[in-house]
Amino acid sequence: MERVARPLRQLGAAIETSEGKPPVVVRRGHPLQAGAIRSEVASAQVKSAVLLAGLFSEGETSFTEPAKSRDRYRAAAAPDGGAGVQRGSTVSVRGRATLRGFALDVPGDLSSAAFLIAAALIAPEGSTLSLDHVGVNPTRAGFLDALAMFGARLQLELGSAPGRSRSRS
């Protein structure tokens, strides 16, 4: 909990942890300030927390990490097209006075689907498995690449737009 709470405190959030563990107390009424957060480790969770908090601050909030991590923040920050700006290993968002509600399809995580995929590969020949709405981010697709190297026949369809499918065999 502390790895998420610490950078949020730098943006002005009032967050208390119990020696870095739950329970966590978040106090309301503390305005967030934009800021530049530099992380020592790549973390999609911390990046998402910082960038989402940045949407509620005045000005630009940025997050810099030493290596690329998943980009889950893009879907949540995109209702008005402002999905953030990527410059090298830094991503930034501009805070907005008002945010509007929007529909969002939250995909399942590939690491959770990996067990089902592995089970399907040992099923009798001719068996198939179709998993819908599983997020496949380039930083998380190594499992699929490894299976393909071992001869697994996989077909990956990205999005619903024509021409956005890719096969792995």
Residue 61: per-residue pLDDT:
93
Tokens representing residue 48 in the block: 């998402």
pLDDT over threshold 50, residue 122: yes
The better pLDDT of the pair 136, 146 is held by 146
Contact 104, 77 (CB under 8 A): no
Confidence tier at 166 by pLDDT (50, 70, 90): very low
pLDDT of 156 above 60: yes
Q: Which helix (H) or strand (E) holds 142?
A: helix 142-149
Q: Could you give the angle at the alpha carbon of 117 between the alpha carbons of 113 and 123, nearest 5°?
A: 145
The beta strands (E) that lie in 69-124 are given as: 85-87, 90-94, 108-109
User: What's residue 98's pLDDT?
Assistant: 62
Asked if residue 20 lies in contact with residue 50, where contact means CB atoms within 8 angstroms, the answer is: no
What percent of the chain stands above pLDDT 70? Answer: 80
Per residue in 17-45, pLDDT tens?
999 899 999 998 888 999 999 999 999 88
Distance of alpha carbon 84 from alpha carbon 74, whole angstroms: 7
pLDDT one-digit tens code per residue, 55-107: 888 889 999 999 888 776 555 555 554 557 888 889 998 887 566 666 666 67
Per the model's pLDDT, the better-predicted residue between 169 and 24 turns out to be 24
Give bridge partners of residue 139 from the DSSP assignment. Answer: none
For residue 47, the model assigns a pLDDT of: 92
Task: Determine contact, residues 154/147, Cβ cutoff 8 Å.
Answer: yes
Query: Across all residues in the chain, what is the average pLDDT?
Result: 81
Tell me how far CA of residue 144 lies from CA of 7, 42, 56, 95, 167, in angstroms: 33, 21, 37, 37, 11
CA gap 157, 169 in Å, rounded: 13
Inform me whether the pLDDT recorded for 7 exceeds 60: yes
